[in-house]
Amino acid sequence: MSKKRLKFPEKWRYFLREIFIVIVGILIAFILNSWWQNLREQKSLTVIRQNLREEVRFNQDELSGTLIIHRVAASNALKLLEAFKAGSNEVTMQDTVYYAMLICATFDPADGNINSILNSGKLDLIDDNELIKSLTTWNRMKLDAIEDESAGFSLVEDQLYPFLRTRIDLASHEERLWSRVGDGIRFEISGQPVTIENSLELRNMIAQRYARLKIIIGALNRIDKHQEEMLGLLDK
């Protein structure tokens, strides 16, 4: 029985047909894989955006409470400075004014989701350059605020508190100084008049305290604005 031999052109047609089938199969597999990969990335991006929204909203609540405390402290430091400017040798104020000036709050934000994105390569999933910039500048702004708060705390702990402690009975009420009620501060103690010497040393410390508080409030206000912008980008 003789074998049927393919002519030369027929061999090429057969060969090209097989190649075509293989190429089409590869292309279909590539398209399906690309579609599946894009679907997974879209789902991952949705989860990332949702987690970031929740984190930013949590931080907004934390920041709001912290700002209230710093503003109360700054307001009372200013009251003391204005009282000292009257020029009398002694100044009598409610003890709540002195107590409130000594409050030191710390902004303690949650940033696990942001850091996870920045450190795991997931940042490539985000196709919004403004959002990427917002995420990458977050840590710098947070560290700046923490540094400012730390400097303010050191001033109170190392200078102002030791100075007032020898002149005012701070220990009797300091544990019950304030409590948060909604969006405000309610002082739990009834204010008692306190008379203290109008000295240059105390005026300078209070002036430093007030200036430091204004710096802290400015840094936190910038974070507040940054978070509002980030939330707007996440809601796009």
Q: What total number of domains does the chain contain?
A: 1
| Residue-level pLDDT at 89 | 82
Across 119-135, average pLDDT:
82
Average pLDDT, the chain: 81
Q: In 3D, which of 32, 13, 233, 2 has the Cα closest to residue 133?
A: 233
The tens digit of pLDDT for each residue in 83-93 reads 888 777 888 87
pLDDT at 183 over 70: no
Domain-embedded: residue 67: yes
Across 169-190, average pLDDT:
47
Domain-embedded: residue 183: yes
**Position with higher pLDDT, 68 vs 12:** 68
| Residue-level pLDDT at 170 | 66
pLDDT class of 8 with cuts at 50, 70, 90:
low
| Residue-level pLDDT at 122 | 74
CA–CA dist 173, 102 (Å, integer): 12
Please give the C-alpha separations between residue 228 and each of 52, 57, 111, 210, 219, in angstroms, as whole numbers. 12, 9, 16, 27, 14
CA–CA dist 228, 202 (Å, integer): 39
The tens digit of pLDDT for each residue in 20-72 reads 888 888 888 788 777 777 767 677 778 888 989 999 999 999 999 899 989 98
What's the pTM value of the predicted model, to 2 decimals?
A: 0.76
Residues in the chain: 236
**Position with higher pLDDT, 68 vs 10:** 68
Q: What percentage of the chain reaches a pLDDT higher than 70?
A: 83
Residues 6+ apart with CB under 8 A from 96: 76, 187, 189, 191
- CB of 213 closer than 8 Å to CB of 74: yes
Q: Which domain holds residue 135?
A: 8-234
Start-to-end C-alpha separation, the chain: 75
CA–CA dist 195, 180 (Å, integer): 28
CA–CA dist 145, 141 (Å, integer): 6
The tens digit of pLDDT for each residue in 193-221 reads 778 888 899 999 999 999 999 999 999 99
**Position with higher pLDDT, 149 vs 171:** 149
Domain-embedded: residue 1: no
Domain-embedded: residue 2: no
Across 4-32, average pLDDT:
74
pLDDT at 165 over 50: yes
pLDDT class of 180 with cuts at 50, 70, 90:
very low
Domain-embedded: residue 3: no
